[in-house]
Amino acid sequence: MLAYLAAVAGEAPYILSGSLVTLGVVCASLGLGFCMGVPLALAQVYGLPTARRLVAVYTWFFRGTPILVLLYLFHFGLFDALNLNMPALVSACIVLGLASSAYQSQIFRGSLEALPAGQFKAARALGFSSVQSVRHIILPQALRLSLPGWSNEYSILLKDSALVYVLGVPEIMTRAHFVASRTSWHVTYYILAALLYLAITALGLKLLRLLEKKTRLPGYNL
Amino acid sequence: MNEKTGTFPEPALRLEEISKSLGGRLILDAVSLDLRKGERKVLIGPSGAGKSTLLQCVNCLVLPDRGRIFLKGEELDQSDNRALRLFRRRVGMIFQDFNLFDHLTALGNVGIALQKVRGLPKAEAESRAVEELARVGLEGKASMYPAELSGGQKQRVAIARALAMDPEVILLDEPTSALDPELAGEVLTVIRDLADGGMTMLMATHQMDFALALADEILFMEQGRIIEQGVPSLLLAPGSGTRTLDFCSRLALGAEGRI
Ligand SMILES: Nc1ncnc2c1ncn2[C@@H]1O[C@H](COP(=O)(O)OP(=O)(O)O)[C@@H](O)[C@H]1O
Ligand SMILES: [Mg+2]
């Protein structure tokens, strides 16, 4: 028993510090997904037919291909073929980010389509350009509407991030797996990993809920 | 009629043969109209006649298929986006359902175009917005969001927002028809004040008593055409036999029937 506790206490910090890597991967891919998801959604809602079709193909590809397949395809396939010598961490962030951008674009598209057409009309009637209307009138409202869906995307992405252990990125899962494979107490380490994911999920959702509260508009029930 | 329009010599807005088809149907059929500075014309007609479409064609929120638009004698180049933006700044628009920006306070709604379109510094835009809100009797509501305002207050904010741009012409699309009668009154008062101040207006409305009191000329629209026009006292003279009179008396009956 004592040996068990000592061993677990000895390995725990190593797994725990994987949280930072996990958090980094999640934040980077959420960020990339956001920066690409917004323009993708705008293109799909306001763009020319060609743009809409391209976005549809893009989202179909990234939502339809398993993350695991995408990770191999990009890291060992595309990036290798281009001789990019991409570090596994970067590949992981790019792949998760691209996949997330496909999902996020659909969250934002839903919000854009939910806004009354009169908002855009009123902005243009005042002399706003299309770009100004989107920036100052449409997006501030659409992003507020998107927050609940976006929180959901955060928790899904966090769980998907465990998959990047196949590239050897030293995040929670990779470390838990590594430690577990060397001892006979593997379940303990996977429980530890699960607890870490749960804690990060709870923390992130709490922060997002705070953001939701902060940006909520008085009298506006959306 | 000529005597009356004769008192407004300067041209403000002119539409020449505006046509528009939507969904394969002709919605506006070569509509022309002339508005002189300070003149107030009222569009009436059954629902679906094309009044909203016409008003939105004036500032090309709906792009006409054909026809020319002049402001102060200068033709608008409808294919030039920059010209369109400048034109829209000079032509205010009030919508039936207000279309306030839901994420901005009353002050923000009035101030944002001053800042982003006219390029005023924030402080200046705000003080101008405060002034405009006071002009429509809403000085106490500056920090309220649209969802916290009554319909009448929303429409008054929308009017303040349009006025803040110093428009030369104001287009009003049934500004009170989404409002209960008690709330319509406060909006009509604001519009009457505007009219008294000499604002050039083109307004669609079903509020006949108001139209009569305000209009220099009534334009009766049906199936995408202006089929009758003239000063209210002539068009609506008892026994004149006009379509306008017929429409208005049925409107009055309908209103009584509802009560
Ligand atoms: N985007 C559109 N597509 C097809 N038909 C439309 C569209 N907008 C308006 N219409 C039609 O145009 C006609 C005139 O509409 P509108 O200008 O709103 O009339 P009004 O304001 O006089 O009630 C109506 O028959 C309406 O159904
Ligand atoms: Mg209408």
Assess if residue A221 is contained within a domain.
no
Terminal Cα-to-Cα distance of chain B (whole angstroms): 35
Q: Across the interface, which of B81, B86, B97 has its CB nearest the CB of A118?
A: B97
Q: Is the dihedral of CA B184, B190, B191, B195 positive or negative?
A: positive
Mapped onto helix, strand or coil, the DSSP state of residue A115 is coil
Q: Is B134 on the interface with A (CB under 8 A)?
A: no
Q: Rounded to two decimals, what is the model's pTM?
A: 0.87
Ligand 1 contacts CB of residue B205 (under 6 A): no
In 3D, which of B194, B167, B172, B162 has the Cα closest to residue B86?
B167
- Domain count for chain A: 1
Q: Could you give the CA distance from residue A28 to residue A132 in angstroms, rounded to a whole number?
A: 28
Assess if residue A222 is contained within a domain.
no
Which residue CA neighbors atom 17 of ligand 1 most closely? Answer: B50
**Average pLDDT score over residue span A180-193:** 84
Give me the percent of chain A exceeding a pLDDT of 70.
99
More reliable by pLDDT, B206 or A184: B206
CB contacts, 8 Å: B102 with chain A: 119, 141, 217, 220
Closest-CA distance, B239 to chain A, in angstroms, reads 41
Give the CA-trace dihedral at A86, A88, A89, A93, to 10 degrees: 80
Q: Is B122 on the interface with A (CB under 8 A)?
A: no
**Average pLDDT score over residue span B48-67:** 94
Query: To the nearest whole number, what is the mean pLDDT of chain B?
Result: 89
**Average pLDDT score over residue span B154-176:** 94
Q: Across the interface, which of A118, A121, A217 has its CB nearest the CB of B147?
A: A217
Best A126, A130, A136, A214 member to test B by mutation, with max B CBs in 10 Å, is: A126
Q: In terms of DSSP bridges, do strands B11-22 and B25-36 run parallel, antiparallel, or are they unpaired?
A: antiparallel
- Classify residue A83 by its DSSP letter: T
Is B61's CB within 8 Å of A121's CB? yes
The CATH number of the domain holding residue A6 is 1.10.3720.10
Confidence tier at B76 by pLDDT (50, 70, 90):
very high
Tell me what pLDDT residue A221 has. Answer: 58
pLDDT at B4 over 80: no
Give the CA-trace dihedral at B176, B177, B183, B184, to 10 degrees: 40
Q: Is B103 on the interface with A (CB under 8 A)?
A: yes
Tell me what pLDDT residue B6 has. Answer: 55
* Residue A76 structural domain: 2-215
pLDDT at B164 over 70: yes
pLDDT at A8 over 90: no
Range in B2-6, B161-165, B167-171 with the lowest mean pLDDT: B2-6
Can you spell out the DSSP letters for chain B? -HHHHHT--SEEEEEEEEEEEETTEEEEEEEEEEEETT-EEEEE--TTSSHHHHHHHHTTSS--SEEEEEETTEEP-TT-HHHHHHHHHHEEEE-TT----TTS-HHHHHHHHHHHTS---HHHHHHHHHHHHHHTT-GGGTT--GGGS-HHHHHHHHHHHHHTT--SEEEEESTTTTS-HHHHHHHHHHHHHHHHTT-EEEEE-S-HHHHHHH-SEEEEEETTEEEEEE-HHHHTSTT---HHHHHHHHHHHHHHHH-
Q: Could you give the CA distance from residue A178 to residue A19 in angstroms, rounded to a whole number?
A: 15
Is A219's CB within 8 Å of B145's CB? yes
- Classify residue A122 by its DSSP letter: H
Which residue CA neighbors atom 24 of ligand 1 most closely? Answer: B48
Is A132's CB within 8 Å of B89's CB? no
Range in A46-60, B5-19, B45-59 with the lowest mean pLDDT: B5-19
Provide the β-strand partners of residue B28.
Answer: B20
pLDDT at B257 over 50: no
Alpha carbon of B25 to ligand 1 centroid (Å) = 9
The sheet carrying B66-71 orders its strands as B25-36, B11-22, B66-71, B74-75
Which residue from B18, B20, B22, B205 has its CB within 8 A of the most atoms of ligand 1, so it is best to mutate? Answer: B22
Is A220's CB within 8 Å of B116's CB? no
Assess if residue A177 is contained within a domain.
yes
Domain definitions of chain B by residue range? 11-100+169-252
Each residue of A76-96: pLDDT tens digit? 999 888 888 889 899 999 999
CB under 8 Å to B66, separation ≥6 — which residues?
B17, B18, B19, B30
Mapped onto helix, strand or coil, the DSSP state of residue A216 is coil
Q: Could you give the CA distance from residue B49 to residue B192 in angstroms, rounded to a whole number?
A: 25
pLDDT at B83 over 50: yes
pLDDT at B1 over 50: no
Assess if residue A143 is contained within a domain.
yes
Ligand 1 contacts CB of residue B23 (under 6 A): yes
Best B99, B148, B153 member to test A by mutation, with max A CBs in 10 Å, is: B99
Tell me what pLDDT residue A220 has. Answer: 66
CB under 8 Å to A12, separation ≥6 — which residues?
A192
Ligand 1 contacts CB of residue B52 (under 6 A): yes
Tell me what pLDDT residue A186 has. Answer: 81
**Average pLDDT score over residue span B129-134:** 94
- For the CA of B45, the closest atom of ligand 1 is 22
Residue A149 CA to chain centroid, in angstroms? 12
- For the record, the structure tokens of B91 come out as 């032509």
Give me the percent of chain B exceeding a pLDDT of 90.
71
Confidence tier at B258 by pLDDT (50, 70, 90):
very low
Alpha carbon of B52 to ligand 2 centroid (Å) = 4
Indicate the CATH number for domain B11-100+169-252: 3.40.50.300
Tell me what pLDDT residue A3 has. Answer: 80
Q: Is B162 on the interface with A (CB under 8 A)?
A: yes
Ligand 1 contacts CB of residue B49 (under 6 A): yes
Which residue from B18, B19, B25, B27 has its CB within 8 A of the most atoms of ligand 1, so it is best to mutate? Answer: B27
In 3D, which of B132, B135, B210 has the Cα closest to residue B174?
B210
**Average pLDDT score over residue span B33-42:** 93
Is A132's CB within 8 Å of B86's CB? no
Q: What is the 3-state secondary structure (H, E, C) of A21-65?
A: HHHHHHHHHHHHHHHHHHHHHHHHHHCCHHHHHHHHHHHHHHHHC
